[in-house]
Each structure stands twice: as C-alpha cells, then as structure tokens.
Amino acid sequence: QVQLQESGPGLVKPSETLSLTCSVSGGSIGSYYLSWIRQPPGKGLEWIGYMYYSGSTNYNPSLKSRVTISVDASKRHFSLKLSAVTAADTAVYYCARDRTTLMGMDVWGQGTTVTVSS
C-alpha cells in the first residue's frame, strides 16, 4: 500500500521560497502522476501542479511562474518549490498520487501546514 508523507518548514518569510518534500513509501507511484494541492485557511482545494513519472510537469497557470516540481533519482522524494511567497500562500499543502483523469487522486498525504509570515 503506497503511502505519501509531506514534510518541510512550517514557517516561511514573505518573498522567500517555500520548499516541501513528498516522500513515497510502501511502493512507488507507478506510471502515474504526483500532484500537489493546497488548501488556504477557510477556503477550498487548489491544484498546484503535477509531475509525471517520466519527469514531465504541468502547473496551474495561476502559479506557473513561481512553481517547480521535481523528483530525486530514487523517484521516492518529490519536491515542491514555490518562490516569492506572500501571506496568500499560507495553506495546508498536500501531495497525492494522481491516476489521471480516468481514476483521480486515490492516495493522499496527511498534509503539512505552511504559514507565510515575518
């Protein structure tokens, strides 16, 4: 059973870069995508972007200029980098195995809270 776990700093200063890691255990994400999603306080879910197992990426147009998703050589640690953060980037960040538009996001991490504040 594949499990995902997000990790990273809980506090980031405005204008700095938010960096999170999604660690995969109990298997691999297989030939699927790894998506990042966030939920600002009191708001709904927002898709940030994904990386395909081959390494290709696709980002939400509203965040594209600031987002980078990458993976290490083991394919077990996916990273999310969001640059020039503001208070509007304060949110719970989730990673999820994305089995495409046919099957949806079927495995999610517990989420990690990131606060942007000086």
Partner 1 sequence: QSVLTQPPSASGTPGQRVTISCSGDSSNIGSNYVFWYQHLPGAAPKLLIYRISQRPSGVPDRFSGSKSGTSASLAISGLRSEDEADYYCASWDDSLSGWVFGGGTKVTVL
What is the binding site for partner 1 (CB under 8 A)?
A: 35, 37, 43-47, 49, 58-61, 94, 96, 98, 101-106, 108-111
- DSSP letter string, 13-80: -TTS-EEEEEEEESS---SSEEEEEEE-TTS--EEEEEEETTS-EEE-TTTTTTEEEEE-TTSSEEEE
Task: Compare residues 16 and 113 and give the one whose CB is closer to partner 1.
Answer: 113
β-pairing, 18-25 with 11-12? unpaired
- 93 or 116, CB closer to partner 1? 93
Please, what is the minimum distance in Å from the beta carbon of residue 65 to partner 1? 15
Nearest approach in angstroms of CB 116 to partner 1 is 21
| CB contact at 8 A, 38 and 29 | no
Minimum CB distance to partner 1, residue 20 (Å): 15
Q: How far is the CB of 27 from partner 1 (least distance, A)?
A: 17
Residue 37 vs 116, nearer CB to partner 1: 37
Segment 99-104 long-range contacts (CB within 8 Å, at least 24 positions apart): 99/32, 99/33, 100/32, 100/33
**C-beta closer to partner 1: residue 47 or 53:** 47
